[in-house]
Structures are given as C-alpha cells and as structure tokens.
C-alpha cells in the first residue's frame, strides 16, 4: 500500500508497478483491519474498471520499515 486517501480509500501499488485505488471489503471492516503505508495487502480488481479494487487480506509489513 502506498497512501491513505479520504473516505477510507487506499492507493495500492501492484506487483507490475501499476497503481489502483482500493477500499477495504465489508468483511475486513468487521475485523477492524488497520492499514498503514508500507503494508502488503491482497487486492481483488474490479472486472469493469481495472483502476479500482478491494482489499481482501493483509500481509506482513515490508522489511526495513519500523512502526511509527
């Protein structure tokens, strides 16, 4: 994840270095998923608009970044 945007949206950089705007899925909102820049996330892309997506899972933070 690259950046936090207003209205609980996130800018996410994919493995192919393209960037999409994503929101957290409703199931993850119930789990109080907290995302910070630098977190690795799993994203489902919209079949209609490949610049939009949904965060479905959170991975580990990238190495070299500490908590702030």
The three-state secondary structure class of 11 is: strand
Q: How many beta carbons lie within 10 A of that of residue 11, not counting itself?
A: 14
Is residue 20 within 8 A of residue 43, CB to CB? The reply is: yes
Task: Grade residue 26 by pLDDT with cuts at 50, 70 and 90.
Answer: confident
Mean pLDDT of all residues in 57-68? 61
Is residue 51 within 8 A of residue 36, CB to CB? The reply is: no
In this model, does residue 28 exceed pLDDT 80? no
pLDDT, mean over the chain: 84
Indicate the fold that domain 3-61 takes in CATH.
OB fold (Dihydrolipoamide Acetyltransferase, E2P) (2.40.50)
User: Looking at residue 68, what is its pLDDT?
Assistant: 44
């Amino acid at each position: 994840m690259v950046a936090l945007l207003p209205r609980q949206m996130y800018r996410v950089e994919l493995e192919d270095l393209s960037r999409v705007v994503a929101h957290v899925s409703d199931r993850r909102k119930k789990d109080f998923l907290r995302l910070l820049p630098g977190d690795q996330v799993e994203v489902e892309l919209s079949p209609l608009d490949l610049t939009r997506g949904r965060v479905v899972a959170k991975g580990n933070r990238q190495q070299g970044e500490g908590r702030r």
